[in-house]
């Protein structure tokens, strides 16, 4: 088996995540889709790390996890704030700003 | 060529008068007319002085020039402000200043009741200056300055009583039609510069010996166009009748004696061009012939005394142009007719002015009649002029007109017969309509309105008339003694070659002319002296009369061919500018706004569609990669 | 197993460390400081750390090294200039931020609730914005000097997270403000996922995460370019998102409008400098040799961005949205500097960034002054007749607009000239023409605002120009002065940039 | 030289489709909680992949930090905003659904096709050498030497996150908390002594014991302040008159 | 100090002086403005006398580094062409101030602002003609739009705001195209001997350009100038602007600003791109001829007196453009002289029209009637100005118009012939308003209009004096212009066509 297969999986997961951001309305699910994209990127990194025989990719993936964790904190805080103001977590409802 | 330092005074004096009077304004009301008359007279004096100087010199040194300063000098285009006084111009100088001064004198009295008399005199002085510049300029461009200057003065004087809208329109019409002619002069100068490299008379003359016929023909035709504008020749004749809106002295001076003859001057001055360009010359005679008939026909139908005289002027200038178009044989006769015409026509106009003065400014001849008794001096002076114009010997017109008719017959071949016949027929019609004027005004029954109390004019008015009448009696005789004028002018216009083969003997021509005159006079006398004349022009007249009354439809023609389409074009362009040109610009603005408004809709406010946009962007990028890595 | 201790050049890292230190002190003040004096002390700490960071930067301005932090940070002339620009802009923005009228009293309180009313009455303040600002500044300082992809990614997040938060802290129209925070955050996270994906591919392609390593692989690599191009493409998505290039721009109008104006100004100016700094470095250092692959796409994006920003701005009715679209258009102009890929392109970009950043802060500073009883008035219709109400403020704003439009005798003109000539110099005729045309379109809406302010009569609807605080005055005065001086005597700055701007490889 | 052993291949072909299907499922299920659980499953799968690819440390961290902590945080918040809330999957933005499907196919297709086309020009190396001292040790070495600066900087990121969460979530007290003494005084100084002994619970003395039904006071009148303020704000309070006792015997009978 | 620099500084100092006078002392402000412009006029005349007309190189040269890294200098100097136009500008300025003594009072802002704008504009007017550095020229070219914009929009009448915007957008659009060309030049200069904007060095550059490049760069410049000079069909801003602006502003706008367009055609289009100029000459001549006739027809159809004058100017600018592209010494000198003369005759027309309008309260020609009897001096002034406009021999415009026609005829007879029809139309468009407004019966509403007062007489007298004097004696100007235009053509490699039939050749 070729390690590239992991890359295909990762590409598919990334695609699914990206499309999820577009199709789902619940802000939390949207955000989860972003997490899926980050994870897909991480899988690519780990796979390349294996292909290249260096650990830098894993380091990047590690940083990604840390950064993602921070992002989750901030993001969820924002989502909760919005939810408290609007009693809704739908990203479509937040569309006062337009045109 | 002899140089002189005093030529400029000829122009400067009247110009000074005009400047002082216009700048001083109402302050000069009291003495303005006197100053203007004095300056005009002194200019005449300078002219006489120049004449005497000229006579003292041998024939070939009679021309005098004065270079004032370099006027325009760009590259090879060098035009000096220079003056040239030769045998041709001195005739004009004396005519302009002499007749001009007389008319100044006449106007002192004629305009005495007008509160703007000072302004009138300023304009008169301005005219004299411009006209002198026209005839004294030593190049076509200098001539052009005077040419337009007289146009301006004419405009101002025709519109002197511009509070009447019709008069204001008449002045505008005169100016604009003159400009059409001026355009011809512009073209002529441009062609001359482009082909001959110079615009001075002497330079063009020198170059004309070697230049191609085509170039000279082009210049000649353009000069003819210029002449038709200024001299009211066909087809630019329409303004002259309306120009009678000006005060009568103006009509006498500008629209009879001097300005309108500028075209003849131009053609004669450019003799070297026309002599070398037969086509242009042929056109000149055709224009002259048409105009002389045109004016004559119009003259028969006019009831307004001034308009009748104006039509006559047009016709007489037609004679001159015809003469000038006949080449060296005719130049001198054209000038001679010009000079004699200057006397008798000016005298007649002043006479008409005198009649109007006495008849409470009535101009309709159908309201005159039997004035002979009340205005004897006017009658006599007018009558002498009348005899001169119809060509009764020994009055001046006989000599000059007869010479032209004779030369026309001698032009050779069919051309000669046609031209001579036309001139002869013109003479008959002239006799008819001039007799009609004479009869309606002075000899027929009274047809006055109640408030008219005819009386003779004061001396300041009749004196100039008398002097001019003397001129119209004697000049013809004087000019032809020993071919005086012909010989005088020959250094400028070329030797007058007696044609070897004459179609008709001079005596025969004179006889025919006299016969024609007699027929014309007889018809007019029968028609107007014997019969009662209605005080209102009858309407049930033939179509020809109606057309003649309408100046042979000249205005209708201009209106239909130039004015209406011009107005339509103007309003079309105005709308087009608003909607098409500016509309296009605004359209671009609107397009940008529209694009902004529609692109703005991509900003839906939904975060998900923004994400979709980013995704699409990314897809586009990797699609590009997909393509380039194929 | 051997371990060599890392060596950090603290002098060169000092500006960032000082700012981070200031931020940490700020956090401590939040935790322990007395509430009454928090605002003053926070402001003091913030300003002091920014000034100190600038001083530290000046001290090392002539140094350059690839090894400032074990290959993660490249310290060079361009970096110094960009960091200096960011610090100056940050300092000027902090003066605007210090006007707490902009911020909510209590972010946790539900809009319209009694808790919000109480907190307003008590005059509570979200003094956390100061440390947040400093964190963002630290991220921005790091962003353009990052020389490896990890640091780049971390710096990106570091500058973004505080901005996400601060966007939601507006005092008025809080629903909009929170919405802008949500949008900014979601889309920002989305785009940084792309960036990370790009990092992954670049790592795969080059077996290195440093710019130098990538550059070496491009010249010496033996495989095909697919992973490289995927990497460049996805990284570009992340970076272009930050600068607001079309089609990754959609967040910016909404966020600019919703965020507190002072933050918008800071974000618009400083983020643009930082992000363009990073773009310049990565494209000039890492991707330069793959020029022929990425240039056409970037040219297209630049043109579309210029034209789109200008065209859409015409129809805007809100001053902040209009400035947002204007900043999109300017992003297009700035991309011309990236495309130029030359020394003069770099110089021009840096000058443009400085000039544009300064003018932007000033313009948003003016926007904060126009208010009614319910807070800032950003509806352009209500700005009509501003020239009558307050000629000075209107004139200053008009001056900034003219600078944006690139009228001579303003900094914007010199910037526009230098950046377009740099682009044309390297053969981008299309950029030049598109730039000129979109500048013409852009002039349309800048002038529209000027017309509105000066040639329309004021509407009596309570809109007024408040007397600015001393700090706001300072910002507006300094920014307009710099904009003018750079328009008339740009030579010193240009010379300085020219002599010192370079990217160490 | 990297060779992939059959067990790994088997594992891959078993787990990878599952992961992809779960991910797709994440988009298709209505309830957010289900999405979260499916995502957790994908993450666990990835953790297994990491471990299979010699990234032991990351695999563990993935499970412990990502799946364990981060996903739990998600679930927490989901609970907070209403765990029952389910998304309607009908698309409300016109034209977005086809765009999304096209995008999915286009993006995925292009990406897969491009990866298929990609070559690196070098053999896959495997991590045997790099991990020779142990994966964790090798990572640590990199992290604390080469990548020490980003590592340090990430700390700032963490502080930012904490600070941010605090800014948005922390309710600053607008008035100092009343001491017990102050509370007692306030209670007794109040308008009625009814609340002196604390507020009644909802449903007390009523014929209904739901939380949204006000309590009845001893005199039979309703006590709206027995309902939670949140419910009141939502308007979820039931009218209590229907539960009032129509006949209340107010006469006090003395029991002797 | 350098004559030109000091001439440019004087109005700037004057504007500072005006700025410090309190706003309510209107009279002081006006006096200061008048004094300044008079001083500038005097120094202009002094420069005129110091100028050595035999020397075809630039004189009063001053060069100082401005932005050395772009090769931009503050470089000023004049040849005959520029000197004539500067002289015209500085002579017109005091006339405008004096004539429009009360113009500032109907404005949106105070008189102070009005005169500051006027004085700043004067500086730029001098600068734009004096600049020998293309960049410096561009700076003045664009920057001078701003004061004019505010002068129209702030002090005009009617649709002033819209007209001002139209003016500005049109001009900015052209300016941006020119900027593109300037950038092109700059870049090309960089590859051939180093970046420079010096007009002398740039004029050598065309040798290195491909025809396409040269054509495109030429078009950039030409379109900008064609908008400025209004050449059909880029003229539609002018009537609106002229109708909305105050008479004084219109004088500066049509008399001076628009000349920048025709000046630029000679100074830049011809000098920098001789080959492209030749290529485009036929097209440009067609546009010029259309302008002549089109402007005249629209003038005939105009109902508003200010629009009428504007349209006549379009016609006149057609003549100027035609003269320039005739490529003969007569055409060039004529065109240059035409610029000067048009400045004065249009000034006279606009100023008198302005007085008529302010007295009558209407700018519709039909509202006037019989003014010659009521206000003879005013009517005469208008009449003389009109006569000059229709190029009556003896007045200044004749010389120039005729030179243009003659010069064009020698090379392009067809264009000249068609253009000559313009002189008939000119008679119509001048005499129609003269007849309607000055002649005819005095219509109601005009009976009691006051004639010109002493101030107005003093203002108009020198203008009319110049018109008359130059008509009779244009040599002082031609002597200065001729060497300059001969030099331009010589550089171009043009020699005047030899008369085709000249004797002895």
Position E184 scores a pLDDT of: 87
Determine, yes or no, domain membership for E419: yes
- The answer to whether B615 contacts chain A (CB < 8 Å) is yes
The pTM is what? 0.87
Residue appearing with tokens 């370079």: C502
More confident residue, B412 or E133: E133
Q: Quick check: B612 and D100 CB within 8 A?
A: yes
pLDDT at residue E504 tops 60: no
Question: Of E169, E301, E377, which is closest to B573 when you measure between CB atoms?
Answer: E301
Residues B355 and B484 in one domain: yes
**Which of B612, B616, B623 comes nearest D110 by C-beta?**
B623
State residue B375's pLDDT score: 82
Say which residues have a Cβ less than 8 Å from residue B202's Cβ, sequence separation at least 6.
Answer: B138
- D171 located within any domain: no
Total number of domains in chain D: 2
State how beta strands E72-78 and B64-74 pair.
unpaired
The string of pLDDT tens digits covering residues E4-39 is 888 888 888 888 888 888 888 888 888 888 888 898
- Does residue B565 share a domain with residue B502? no
The answer to whether D167 contacts C138, with C-beta atoms less than 8 Å apart, is no
Q: For residue E392, is it within any domain?
A: yes
**B265 within a domain of the structure (yes/no):** no
First to last CA, chain A: 51
**Interface probe with A: pick from C110, C169, C200, C258, most Cβ of A within 10 Å:** C200
State whether the Cα torsion B325-B330-B331-B337 is positive or negative.
negative
Average pLDDT over residues B569-581: 83
pLDDT recorded at residue D195: 60
Task: Please report whether residue D173 resides in a domain.
Answer: no
CA of C481 vs chain A CAs: smallest distance (Å): 34
Name the one residue in this structure whose structure tokens are 């020698």.
E410
Residue to mutate among D160, D165, D166, D170, with most C CBs inside 10 A, is D160
User: By CA distance, what is B615's nearest residue in D?
Assistant: D103
ipTM of the complex: 0.88
Range of the domain at D20: 1-85
Give the pLDDT confidence of B226-278 residue by residue, as tens digits.
888 888 888 888 888 888 888 888 888 888 788 888 888 888 888 888 888 88
Contact list, C324 vs chain A (CB under 8 Å) = none
Asked whether residue E122 is assigned to any structural domain, the reply reads no
Q: Is residue E332 part of a domain?
A: yes
Query: Is pLDDT at D256 greater than 60 in this prediction?
Result: no
> What pLDDT, on the 0 to 100 scale, is given for residue E503?
47
Number of Cβ within 10 Å of residue D143's Cβ equals 17
Last residue of one domain, picked from the residues B519, B544, B579: B519
Sign of CA dihedral B279, B282, B286, B288: positive
End-to-end alpha-carbon separation of chain D, Å? 100
Interface test mutation site (partner B, options C254, C314, C318, C439, max chain B beta carbons within 10 A): C314
Give the integer Cα–Cα distance in Å for E90 and E428.
Answer: 32
Q: Which residue has the higher pLDDT, E143 or D217?
A: E143
Assess C135–D contact: CB distance below 8 Å, yes or no: yes
| Domain housing E476 | 274-499
Q: Is the pLDDT of residue E399 over 80?
A: yes
Q: Do residue B403 and residue B501 come from a single domain?
A: yes
DSSP label of E73: E
pLDDT at residue B498, as a whole number: 58
Q: What is the pLDDT of residues E229-266, one digit of tens each?
A: 888 888 888 888 888 888 888 888 888 888 898 999 88
- Tell me what the mean pLDDT of segment B291-317 comes to: 85
Inter-chain touch A96–C207, beta carbons under 8 Å: no
Is B498 in the same domain as B587?
no
**D87-118: b or e for each residue (b if 16 or more CB lie within 10 Å)?**
beeebebeebeebbeebbebbbebbeebbeeb
pLDDT range class, residue D242, cuts 50, 70, 90: low
Q: Do C204 and A48 touch (CB under 8 A)?
A: yes
**Whole-angstrom distance, CA of residue D232 vs CA of residue D210:** 14
The pLDDT assigned to C1 comes to 55
Q: Say if the Cβ atoms of C70 and D172 lie within 8 Å.
A: no
Does B573 lie in the same domain as B497? no
- Assigned domain for E53 exists: no
Which of D37, D63, D85 delimits the end of a domain? D85
Q: Which of D34, D69, D85 is the last residue of a domain?
A: D85
Here the tokens at position E365 are 């020609």
Of the candidates E145, E40, E17, the residue with the CA atom closest to the CA atom of residue E92: E40
Any domain includes E139: no
Q: Distance between CA C482 and CA C478 in Å, rounded?
A: 6
Are residues B301 and B401 located together in one domain of the fold?
A: yes
Rounded CA separation A70/D154 (Å): 9
User: Is residue E505 over pLDDT 70?
Assistant: no
Residue A41 clears pLDDT 90, i.e. is over it: yes
What lies within 8 Å, CB to CB, of E492 at 6+ separation is E270, E271, E274, E277, E327
- Partners of B603 on chain A (C-beta within 8 Å) are 98-99
What's the pLDDT score for residue C45?
93
Among residues D67, D85, D103, the one where a domain terminates is: D85
pLDDT level of residue A16 (50, 70, 90 thresholds): very high
- Give the largest CA-CA distance in chain D: 104
Tally the domains of chain E.
Answer: 1
Are residues B514 and B563 located together in one domain of the fold? no
**D256: closest CA of chain A, how far (Å):** 57
The alpha-carbon gap from C237 to the nearest alpha carbon of chain B, in Å, equals 7
pLDDT per residue as tens digits for the range B35-50:
888 888 898 898 888 8
Report chain C residues whose CB lies below 8 A from the CB of A70.
157, 161
Residue E360 maps to a domain: yes
Give the distance from residue E117's alpha carbon to the nearest chain C alpha carbon, in angstroms. Answer: 14
B430 and B560 fall within a common domain: no
| Secondary structure string (H, E, C) spanning C45-109 | HHHHHHHHHHHHHHHCCCCCECCCECCCECECHHHHHHHHHHHHHHHHHHHHHCCHHHECCCCCC
Predicted confidence (pLDDT) at residue B197 exceeds the cutoff of 90: no
| Total domain count, chain B | 2
pLDDT of D240 reads 58
Cβ under 8 Å to B: C residues 300-319 = 308, 311-316
E176/C424 CB distance under 8 A: no
pLDDT digits (tens, 9 = 90+) for E327-341: 888 888 889 999 999
Sheet holding B77-85, edge to edge: B2-3, B64-74, B77-85
Residue D37 lies in a domain: yes
Q: What is the pLDDT of residue A11?
A: 92
Rounded (to 5) percent helix, strand, coil in chain D:
60, 0, 40
Q: How far apart are CA B539 and CA B546, in angstroms?
A: 8
Contact A99 B611 (CB under 8 A): no
Q: Which of B470, B495, B519 is the last residue of a domain?
A: B519
Among residues B312, B266, B332, the alpha carbon closest in space to that of B487 is found at: B332
Residue spans of chain C under pLDDT 70: 1, 100, 221-222
**Enclosing domain of residue B300:** 277-519
Of residues E319 and E106, the one with the higher pLDDT is: E319
- Residue ranges with strand state E in B358-474: none
Token readout for C404 is: 């944006």
Cβ separation of C229 and B589 shorter than 8 Å? no
CA distance E8 to E77: 12
pLDDT digits (tens, 9 = 90+) for D144-193: 888 999 998 999 999 999 998 888 887 766 567 778 888 778 777 766 65
Structure tokens at E96: 């405008």
Same domain, B608 and B503: no
Burial of residue E172, with CB atoms counted within 10 A of its CB: 0-12 exposed, 13-18 middle, 19 or more buried: buried
């Amino acid at each position: 088996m070729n390690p590239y297969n992991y890359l295909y999986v990762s590409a598919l997961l990334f695609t699914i995540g990206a499309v999820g951001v577009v199709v789902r309305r619940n802000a939390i699910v949207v955000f989860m889709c972003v997490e899926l994209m980050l994870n897909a990127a991480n899988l690519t990194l780990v796979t390349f790390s294996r292909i290249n025989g260096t650990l830098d990719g894993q380091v990047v993936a590690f940083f990604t996890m840390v950064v993602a964790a921070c992002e989750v904190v901030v993001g969820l805080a924002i989502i909760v704030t919005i939810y408290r103001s609007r009693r809704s977590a739908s990203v479509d409802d937040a569309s006062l700003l337009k045109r | 060529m002899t140089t002189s330092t005093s030529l400029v005074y000829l122009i400067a004096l009247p110009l000074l008068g005009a400047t002082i009077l216009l700048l001083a304004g109402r302050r000069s009301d009291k003495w303005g007319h006197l100053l203007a008359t004095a300056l005009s007279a002194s200019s005449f004096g300078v002219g006489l002085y120049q004449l005497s100087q000229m006579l003292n010199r041998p024939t070939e040194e009679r021309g005098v020039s004065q270079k004032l300063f370099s006027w325009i000098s760009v590259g090879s285009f060098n035009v000096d402000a220079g003056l040239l006084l030769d045998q041709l111009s001195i005739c004009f100088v004396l005519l302009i200043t002499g007749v001009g001064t007389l008319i100044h004198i006449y106007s002192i009295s004629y305009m005495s009741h007008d509160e703007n008399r000072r302004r009138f005199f300023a304009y008169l002085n301005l005219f004299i200056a411009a006209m002198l510049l026209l005839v004294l300029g030593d190049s076509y461009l200098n001539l052009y300055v005077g040419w337009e200057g007289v146009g301006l003065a004419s405009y101002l004087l025709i519109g002197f009583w511009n509070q009447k809208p019709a008069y204001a329109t008449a002045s505008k019409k005169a100016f604009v039609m003159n400009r059409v002619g001026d355009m011809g002069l512009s073209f002529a100068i441009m062609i001359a510069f482009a082909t001959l490299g110079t615009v001075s008379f002497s330079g063009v003359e020198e170059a004309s010996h070697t230049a191609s016929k085509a170039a000279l023909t082009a210049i000649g035709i353009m000069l003819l166009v210029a002449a038709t504008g200024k001299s009211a020749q066909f087809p630019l004749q329409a303004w002259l009748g309306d120009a009678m809106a000006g005060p009568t002295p103006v009509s006498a001076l500008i629209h009879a004696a001097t300005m309108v003859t500028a075209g003849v001057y131009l053609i004669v001055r450019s003799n070297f061009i026309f002599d070398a360009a037969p086509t242009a010359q042929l056109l000149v005679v055709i224009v002259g012939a048409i105009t002389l008939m045109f004016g004559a026909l119009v003259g028969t139908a006019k009831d307004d005394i001034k308009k009748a005289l104006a039509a006559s002027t047009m016709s007489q200038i037609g004679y001159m142009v015809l003469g000038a178009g006949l080449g060296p044989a005719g130049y001198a006769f054209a000038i001679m007719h010009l000079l004699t015409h200057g006397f008798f026509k000016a005298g007649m106009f002043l006479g008409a002015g005198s009649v109007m003065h006495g008849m409470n400014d009535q101009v309709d001849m159908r309201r005159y009649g039997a004035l002979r008794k009340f205005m004897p001096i006017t009658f006599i002076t007018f009558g002498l002029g009348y005899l001169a114009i119809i060509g009764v010997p020994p009055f001046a017109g006989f000599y000059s007109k007869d010479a032209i008719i004779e030369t026309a017959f001698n032009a050779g071949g069919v051309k000669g017969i046609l031209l001579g016949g036309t001139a002869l027929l013109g003479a008959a019609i002239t006799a008819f309509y001039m007799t009609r004027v004479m009869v309606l005004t002075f000899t027929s029954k009274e047809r006055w309105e109640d408030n008219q109390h005819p009386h003779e004019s004061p001396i300041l008015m009749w004196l100039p008339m008398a002097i001019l009448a003397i001129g119209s009696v004697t000049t013809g005789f004087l000019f032809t003694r020993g071919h005086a004028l012909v010989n005088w002018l020959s250094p400028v216009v070329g030797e007058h070659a007696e044609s070897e083969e004459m179609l008709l003997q001079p005596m025969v021509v004179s006889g025919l002319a006299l016969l024609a005159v007699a027929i014309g006079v007889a018809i007019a006398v029968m028609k107007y002296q014997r019969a009662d004349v209605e005080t209102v022009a009858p309407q049930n007249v033939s179509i020809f009369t109606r057309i003649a009354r309408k100046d042979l439809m000249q205005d209708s023609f201009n209106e239909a061919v130039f004015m209406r389409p011009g107005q339509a074009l103007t309003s079309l362009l105005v709308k087009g500018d608003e909607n098409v040109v500016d509309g296009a610009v605004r359209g671009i603005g609107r397009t940008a706004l529209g694009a902004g408004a529609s692109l703005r809709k991509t900003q839906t406010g939904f975060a998900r569609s923004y994400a979709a946009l980013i995704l699409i962007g990314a897809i586009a990028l990797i699609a590009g990669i997909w393509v380039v890595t194929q | 197993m051997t371990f060599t201790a890392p060596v950090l050049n603290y002098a060169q890292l000092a500006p960032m460390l000082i700012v981070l230190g200031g931020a940490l002190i700020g956090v401590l003040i939040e935790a322990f400081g007395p509430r009454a004096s928090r605002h003053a002390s926070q402001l003091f700490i913030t300003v002091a750390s920014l000034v100190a960071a600038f001083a530290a930067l000046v001290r090392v301005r002539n140094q350059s090294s690839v090894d400032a932090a074990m290959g993660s940070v490249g310290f060079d002339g361009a970096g110094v200039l960009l960091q200096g620009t960011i610090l100056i802009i940050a300092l000027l923005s902090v003066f605007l931020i210090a006007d707490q009228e902009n911020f909510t009293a209590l972010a946790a309180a539900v809009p319209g609730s009694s808790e919000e009313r109480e907190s307003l009455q008590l005059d509570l303040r979200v003094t956390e914005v100061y440390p947040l600002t400093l964190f963002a500044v630290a991220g921005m300082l790091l962003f353009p000097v990052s020389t490896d992809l990890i640091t780049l990614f971390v710096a990106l997040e570091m500058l973004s997270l505080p901005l996400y938060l601060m966007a939601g802290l507006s005092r008025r129209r809080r629903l909009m403000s929170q919405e802008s925070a949500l949008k900014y955050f979601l889309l920002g996270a989305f785009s940084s996922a792309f960036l990370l994906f790009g990092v992954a591919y670049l790592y795969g392609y080059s077996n290195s995460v440093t710019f130098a390593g990538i550059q070496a692989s491009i010249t010496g690599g033996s495989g095909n370019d697919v992973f490289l191009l995927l990497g460049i493409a996805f990284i570009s998505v992340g970076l272009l998102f930050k600068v607001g290039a079309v089609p990754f721009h959609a967040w910016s109008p909404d966020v600019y409008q919703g965020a507190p104006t002072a933050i918008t100004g800071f974000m618009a100016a400083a983020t643009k400098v930082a992000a363009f700094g990073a773009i310049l470095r990565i494209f000039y250092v890492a991707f330069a040799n793959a020029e022929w692959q990425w240039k056409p796409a970037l040219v297209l994006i630049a043109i579309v961005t210029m034209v789109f920003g200008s065209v859409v701005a015409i129809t805007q009715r809100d001053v902040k949205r209009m400035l947002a679209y204007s900043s999109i258009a300017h992003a297009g102009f700035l991309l011309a500097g990236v495309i130029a890929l030359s020394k003069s392109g770099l110089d021009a970009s840096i000058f443009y960034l400085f000039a544009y950043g300064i003018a932007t802060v000033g313009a948003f500073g003016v926007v904060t002054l126009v208010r009614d009883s319910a807070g800032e008035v950003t509806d352009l219709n209500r700005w009509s007749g501003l020239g009558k109400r307050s000629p000075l403020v209107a004139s200053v704003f008009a001056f900034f607009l003219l600078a944006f439009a690139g009228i001579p005798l303003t900094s914007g003109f010199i910037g526009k000239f230098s950046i377009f000539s740099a682009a044309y110099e390297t053969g981008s005729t299309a950029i030049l023409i598109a730039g000129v045309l979109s500048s013409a379109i852009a002039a349309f809406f800048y002038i529209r605002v000027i017309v509105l302010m000066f040639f329309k009569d004021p509407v009596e609807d309570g809109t007024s120009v408040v007397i600015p605080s001393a700090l706001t005055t300072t910002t507006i005065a300094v920014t307009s002065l710099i904009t003018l001086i750079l328009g008339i005597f740009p030579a010193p700055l240009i010379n300085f940039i020219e002599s010192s701007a370079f990217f160490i490889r | 030289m990297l060779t992939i052993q059959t067990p790994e291949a088997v594992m891959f072909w078993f787990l990878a489709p599952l992961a992809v299907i779960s991910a797709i499922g994440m988009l298709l299920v209505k309830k957010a909680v289900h999405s979260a659980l499916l995502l957790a499953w994908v993450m666990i799968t990835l953790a297994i992949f990491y471990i299979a690819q010699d990234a032991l440390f990351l695999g563990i961290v993935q499970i412990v930090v990502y799946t364990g902590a981060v996903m739990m945080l998600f679930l927490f918040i989901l609970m907070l905003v209403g765990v029952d809330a389910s998304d309607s999957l009908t698309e409300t933005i016109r034209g977005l659904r086809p765009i999304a499907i096209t995008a999915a196919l286009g993006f995925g297709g292009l990406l897969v096709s491009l990866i298929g086309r990609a070559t690196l020009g070098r053999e896959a190396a495997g991590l045997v050498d790099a991990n020779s001292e142990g994966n964790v040790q090798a990572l640590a070495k990199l992290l604390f030497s080469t990548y020490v600066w980003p590592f340090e900087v990430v700390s700032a990121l963490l502080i930012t996150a904490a600070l941010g969460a605090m800014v948005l979530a922390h309710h600053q007290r607008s008035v100092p908390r009343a001491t017990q003494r102050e509370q007692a005084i306030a209670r007794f100084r109040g308008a009625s002594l009814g609340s002196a002994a604390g507020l009644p619970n909802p449903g007390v003395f009523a014929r209904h014991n739901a939380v949204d039904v006000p309590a009845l006071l001893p005199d039979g009148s309703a006590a709206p302040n027995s309902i939670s303020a949140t419910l009141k704000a939502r308007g979820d309070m039931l009218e209590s008159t229907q539960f009032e006792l129509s006949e209340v015997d107010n006469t006090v009978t003395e029991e002797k | 100090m350098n004559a030109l620099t000091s001439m440019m500084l004087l109005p700037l100092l004057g504007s500072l002086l005006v700025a410090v006078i309190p706003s309510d002392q209107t009279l002081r402000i006006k006096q200061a403005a008048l004094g300044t412009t008079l001083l500038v006029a005097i120094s202009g005349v002094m420069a005129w006398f110091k100028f050595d007309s035999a020397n075809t190189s630039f004189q009063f040269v001053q060069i100082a580094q401005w932005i050395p890294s772009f090769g931009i200098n503050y470089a000023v100097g004049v040849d005959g062409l520029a000197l004539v136009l500067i002289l015209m500008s500085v002579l017109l300025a005091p006339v405008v101030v004096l004539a429009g003594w009360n113009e500032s009072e109907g404005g949106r802002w105070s008189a102070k602002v009005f005169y500051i704008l006027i004085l700043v504009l004067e500086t730029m007017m001098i600068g734009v003609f004096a600049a020998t550095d293309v960049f410096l020229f561009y700076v003045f070219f664009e920057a001078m739009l701003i004061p004019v914009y505010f002068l129209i929009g702030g002090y005009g009448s009617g649709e002033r705001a819209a007209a001002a915007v139209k003016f500005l957008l049109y001009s900015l659009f052209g300016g941006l195209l020119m900027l593109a060309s300037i950038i092109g030049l700059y870049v090309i200069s960089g590859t051939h001997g180093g970046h420079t904007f010096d007009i002398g060095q740039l004029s050598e550059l065309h040798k290195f350009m491909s025809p396409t490049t040269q054509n495109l760069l030429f078009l950039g410049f030409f379109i900008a100038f064609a908008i400025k000079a209004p050449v059909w069909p880029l003229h539609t801003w002018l009537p609106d602007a002229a109708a909305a602006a105050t008479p004084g502003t219109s004088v500066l706008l049509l008399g001076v600003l628009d000349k920048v367009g025709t000046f630029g055609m000679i100074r830049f289009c011809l000098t920098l791109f001789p080959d492209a100029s030749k290529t485009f000459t036929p097209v440009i001549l067609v546009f010029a001829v259309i302008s002549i006739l089109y402007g005249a027809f629209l003038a005939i159809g105009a109902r508003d007196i200010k629009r009428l004058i504007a349209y006549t100017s379009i016609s006149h600018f057609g003549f100027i453009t035609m003269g320039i592209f005739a490529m003969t010494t007569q055409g060039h000198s004529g065109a240059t002289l035409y610029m000067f003369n048009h400045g004065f005759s249009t000034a006279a027309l606009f100023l008198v029209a302005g007085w008529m309008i302010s007295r009558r309260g209407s700018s519709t020609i039909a509202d006037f009637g019989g003014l010659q009897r009521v206000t003879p001096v005013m009517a005469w002034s208008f009449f003389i100005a009109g006569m000059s406009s229709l190029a009556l021999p003896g007045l200044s415009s004749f010389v120039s118009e005729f030179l243009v026609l003659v010069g064009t005829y020698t090379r392009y007879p067809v264009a000249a012939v068609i253009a000559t029809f313009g002189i008939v139309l000119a008679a119509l468009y001048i005499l129609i308003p003269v007849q309607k407004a000055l002649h005819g019966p005095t219509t109601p509403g005009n009976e009691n209009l006051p004639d010109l007062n002493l101030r107005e007489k003093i203002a108009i007298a020198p203008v009319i004096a110049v018109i008359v004097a130059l008509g009779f004696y244009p040599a002082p100007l031609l002597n200065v212009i001729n060497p300059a235009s001969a030099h331009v053509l010589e550089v171009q490699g043009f020699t005047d066509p030899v008369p085709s039939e000249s004797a002895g050749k």
